[in-house]
Each structure stands twice: as structure tokens, then as C-alpha cells.
Amino acid sequence: MTDSLTVRDNRTGAEYDIPITDGTIRAADLGQIKTADDQPGLATYDPGFVNTASCRSSVTYIDGEKGVLEYRGYPIEQLAEKSTFLEVSYLLIYGELPTKEQYDQWVHEITYHTYVHENVKSFMQGFRYDAHPMGMLMASVGALSTFYPEASDIQDPANRHIQTVRMIAKMPTLGAWAFRHAQGKPYIYPDNDLSYTENFLSMLFKMSEHRYDADPRLAKALDVLFILHADHEQNCSTNAVRSVGSSQVDPYSAVAAGIGALFGPLHGGANEAVLRMLRRIGTKENIPSFIKGVKDGNERLMGFGHRVYKNYDPRAKIIKKACDDVFEVTGVNPLLEIAQELEKIALEDEYFVKRKLYPNVDFYSGLIYEAFQFPPEMFTVLFAIGRTPGWLAQWGELIQDKDQKIARPKQIYTGDRTLTFTPAEERWG
Ligand SMILES: CC(C)(COP(=O)(O)OP(=O)(O)OC[C@H]1O[C@@H](n2cnc3c(N)ncnc32)[C@H](O)[C@@H]1OP(=O)(O)O)[C@@H](O)C(=O)NCCC(=O)NCCS
């Protein structure tokens, strides 16, 4: 067996041998396939990158058929159960688990970089009272590049490290302030005596009390949710970070682009749609007619199905457990009963079984976030905080990858050619 692909160009009768490496051919190798020397070489057309690898990566492994998700080789189930978000962040970014010293140092650094320059605060206060928190987060992360102009020195590992620490540390501060802004409440400064998620909950919900004591079960559940969202290989927002990062811009600008991608309803907005759907169903009695509507093709069962996972979404199982923990503290969300019944029916129904449709991460995450009393606009902000280490790990990998070039896809031009321009005064005259 030879690891190559023989291609015969029926336009010319010429044959080409194209090497296969890691189950891929290099698109550039197709460039030699031409009808004549002065003609462009053959290219592939792949909107949405559905069958094109854009990079080599050792950060995250997904096997959609088997329902496997691993960060740096470790199964997500083990990390969610036994690790912490900051340890997972270190693992994603540095490729291996930290020693005790490395971990302590990492947590210390992140804890002591949670403050932002006071001007960031005034900048955020300038937003309209009803500004979407995701728009505020995107803008303020982008603005951080002006506070740390040295961040543009992306080839220096020490510089990359400090900007990485800053971004993971400041994201909850910016996210919480965006939340407080919409409520007209004062921004709360970070408390360096608290853990990452306790501090975040404090900045979100503290009022006049001396210290906000988050329920440890809620702090832990949020930590698990962040772990589950920390990376998902080459998804839309990660691709945005890599694409913008490939111009060698600073990481704040690249991550701001990722936040923009995540803002879109096709990416980060599905859990909000699940909640809307559950509310619309309203009672268990209405489920059969709703399912019939789905099967008749009138609508989708939101939170079911996934482009990659065709067996089950491993994150959904873990989130279901986190749901129980959170509801123990907050009381059960009445929509949970409808969600569980819906899941039970759908998992037994021929329509969903045949199409391999299972609950995805969004089926339950919206219910949890609602139990925390987050408004739906905040759901994607939480996703962004969790995804930040993944974006930074992928960005760091990109910067050090000698194979990478500035992202510059080809196009198939479909417009006019060689028109002759007539000045406006003659055309309108
Ligand atoms: C996630 C999603 C976009 C993946 O889509 P995809 O891989 O392109 O799958 P397709 O749209 O090709 O669907 C394949 C079949 O399953 C059906 N299907 C997919 N998801 C469905 C859902 N949630 N409810 C009902 N039917 C669904 C499609 O109608 C199609 O049926 P057909 O073969 O009879 O035409 C899709 O499952 C979906 O819209 N889910 C709901 C939204 C959601 O939860 N998104 C969050 C993802 S993390």
C-alpha cells in the first residue's frame, strides 16, 4: 500500500501522484494540476471548511462517532470530575499538567491580574444602559490591546505568557462588569482572597455585604461548566482567533475576533433557544404535539443533534450531573421536568434514534445558567470566559507553528470582468 493518491485529469489525460499524510492531501499539491502552463492550478471549493484541515494541533481531540472529547489526551469526564478550570487552562496552554509549584504560581499570577486599569472601567461605563454584555466584552477585550501595547511582541514566550495570564484573569472582571452595567449596579472589584469562580460570582452578585460568600456547590458547578467549554478544536470562534492571529496581531485583538464569532446565534446562542423552546412547550402535556411538529419537519428540537457528535455529546452527561448539584442549592427550575421528559421521549423515538440525535451541551446548560439568575444575554459571556484558555492555547500553537501562513483563502470569482468605467456625471447626466 502506498500513501498517495493517483489523480487522472480527464481534461488532459495527465496523471498525478499526490502524497497522503495523516489522512489528508495538501491542497497546494493540487496546484500542479493544470490544463496549460498559463492556466491556474486546480483548487478545492469548501465553504465552511467542512472537509479541510486548517492546521495541525495537539490541543483537543474529538471523535464524534464515539462521543470522545479529550484535552491534551485527557478525557473530559476525568477533568470535569477531578480537575479545576485553572489547572485545565494550564494544561491546554502548556500541554501538560502543572507540578505543584507551577500550579501555585499560575493560580497566584491569575489571581493577581484580575484588576483592570481604571480607564477600562470608565470606558465600559460609556456604553448605553441596554448594551448587550457580549458586545461590551468584545469591545473591552479589544481595548486591552491599547493598555498593553507590548502584547504585539508575540514572538517572545515570556510576553505571550503574561498576556495569556492577563486575559484569563481579566475576562471574569470584564464579563461581570458588563452584567452589572445592564442592571445599573456599581461595578465590584475583584477579591484576591477568593477562587476564580467565587470571585466571579462575587463581582456579579455582591451588594453591600462585606464579602460575598458564594455557595461552594455553585462555585464548583460553574468551574465544571467552564472546563466543559474550555476548548472544542477548530470551531467557528477558534478559527476566527487563528485566522485573525495569523496576521500576527496581538492576542487581545485576535481573541476579540473570537468573541465576535461566538456572539452569533449559530455558535454560542443555542442554549437560549432551548430555554425559549421549553417555555413555549410550557407543560408536559404539550410535549407529544411538540414532538409531532418536530417530526413533521415544522421545527427543530433545540439542544439536540450536533455537527460532530453523532453518538452522544460527552459534555451533556456531565452537565446533567451539574444540573442536579445546582438545583440542590437554587431549587428545581420548573422547566427541568419538561426537559427531562422531552429527552426521555426523544431518546426512544425512532425519528431521533435513526438520525443519531442526542442531547448536546446546550440542552441543559441554559437551565443551569437560569438557575444562577443569569439573563439569557449573559449565557454567551459565560461561554466566552470558559473558552478563553482554549483560544489562547490554539493561538499560542499557531504562533509557534512553522507551517502556518497568513489566512488567505482562494475564491471562485463570479462577477463581471473588464467593464469600462463611465464617470458619474456622464452616467447620471
Ligand atoms: C447542531 C445541528 C445544526 C447539526 O446539524 P447537521 O449536522 O448539519 O445535521 P443536519 O441538519 O444535516 O440533520 C440531519 C437530520 O437530522 C434532523 N435534525 C437534526 N437536528 C435536529 C433537531 N435538533 N431536531 C429535529 N431534527 C433534527 C434533520 O432534519 C435531518 O433530517 P433529514 O435527514 O430527515 O433531513 C442540528 O442538529 C441542529 O440544528 N440542532 C439544534 C440546534 C442546536 O442545538 N445547536 C447547538 C449545537 S452545539
The pLDDT profile of the chain, 429 residues, written as one tens digit per residue, is: 889 999 999 999 999 999 999 999 999 999 999 999 999 999 999 999 999 999 999 999 999 999 999 999 999 999 999 999 999 999 999 999 999 999 999 999 999 999 999 999 999 999 999 999 999 999 999 999 999 999 999 999 999 999 999 999 999 999 999 999 999 999 999 999 999 999 999 999 999 999 999 999 999 999 999 999 999 999 999 999 999 999 999 999 999 999 999 998 888 878 888 888 999 999 999 999 999 999 999 989 998 988 888 888 899 889 988 888 899 999 888 888 899 899 999 889 999 999 989 888 888 888 899 889 899 899 999 999 999 999 999 999 999 999 999 999 999 999 999 999 999 999 998
Q: How far apart are CA 390 and CA 91, in angstroms?
A: 10
Q: Considering the candidates 161, 306, 324, 403, report the single residue annotated as catalytic.
A: 306
Active-site residue flag, 362 = yes
User: Is 98 contained in some domain?
Assistant: yes
Answer yes or no: do 359 and 317 share one domain. yes
Answer yes or no: do 242 and 275 share one domain. no
Ligand 1: residue whose CA is nearest its atom 12: 307
182 Cβ closer than 6 Å to some ligand 1 atom: no
Answer yes or no: do 192 and 77 share one domain. yes
Answer yes or no: do 280 and 341 share one domain. yes
Please give the C-alpha separations between residue 325 and each of 216, 274, 318, in angstroms, as whole numbers: 10, 20, 11
User: Of 330, 355, 372, which residue is a domain's last?
Assistant: 372
> What residues contact residue 192 under an 8 Å CB cut-off, 6+ apart?
111, 112, 114, 199
User: Is 318 contained in some domain?
Assistant: yes
Q: How far is the CA of 304 from the centre of ligand 1 (A)?
A: 7
User: Of 372, 396, 414, which residue is a domain's last?
Assistant: 372
Are the beta carbons of 187 and 202 closer than 8 angstroms? Answer: no
User: Is 385 contained in some domain?
Assistant: no
CATH of the domain at 353: 1.10.230.10
360 Cβ closer than 6 Å to some ligand 1 atom: yes
Answer yes or no: do 325 and 359 share one domain. yes
Specify the pairing of strand 60-63 against strand 15-19. Answer: unpaired
User: Is 399 contained in some domain?
Assistant: no
Q: How far apart are CA 154 and CA 371, in angstroms?
A: 40
CATH of the domain at 187: 1.10.580.10
What's the predicted TM-score (pTM) here? 0.93
Ligand 1: residue whose CA is nearest its atom 16: 355
Q: Which ligand 1 atom is nearest residue 307's CA?
A: 7
Please give the C-alpha separations between residue 316 and each of 259, 303, 389, in angstroms, as whole numbers: 23, 10, 21
SS3 271: helix
Q: How far is the CA of 270 from the centre of ligand 1 (A)?
A: 12
Ligand 1: residue whose CA is nearest its atom 1: 306
User: Is 223 contained in some domain?
Assistant: yes
Q: How far is the CA of 306 from the centre of ligand 1 (A)?
A: 7
User: Is 416 contained in some domain?
Assistant: no
Q: Which ligand 1 atom is nearest residue 303's CA?
A: 44
Answer yes or no: do 116 and 177 share one domain. yes
Answer yes or no: do 27 and 89 share one domain. no
Decide: residue 396, CB within 10 A, 0-12 exposed, 13-18 middle, 19+ buried: buried
User: Of 223, 239, 268, which residue is a domain's last?
Assistant: 268
Answer yes or no: do 279 and 294 share one domain. yes
User: Is 428 contained in some domain?
Assistant: no
Q: How far apart are CA 259 and CA 381, in angstroms?
A: 9
Start-to-end Cα distance in the chain: 71
SS3 55: coil
Q: How far is the CA of 352 from the centre of ligand 1 (A)?
A: 10
Q: How far is the CA of 67 from the centre of ligand 1 (A)?
A: 16
Answer yes or no: do 141 and 247 share one domain. yes
Q: How far is the CA of 305 from the centre of ligand 1 (A)?
A: 5
How would DSSP label each residue in 157-211? HHHHHHHHHHHHHHHHHHHHHHHHHHHTPPPPPP-TTS-HHHHHHHHHH--SSSS
Q: How many domains does the chain have?
A: 3
pLDDT at residue 77 in the model: 96
Answer yes or no: do 20 and 34 share one domain. yes
Answer yes or no: do 86 and 234 share one domain. yes
305 Cβ closer than 6 Å to some ligand 1 atom: yes
254 Cβ closer than 6 Å to some ligand 1 atom: no
Domain that holds residue 21: 1-53
303 Cβ closer than 6 Å to some ligand 1 atom: yes
Mutate to test the pocket of ligand 1, among 267, 298, 304 (most ligand atoms within 8 A of CB): 304
User: Is 397 contained in some domain?
Assistant: no
362 Cβ closer than 6 Å to some ligand 1 atom: yes
Answer yes or no: do 185 and 219 share one domain. yes
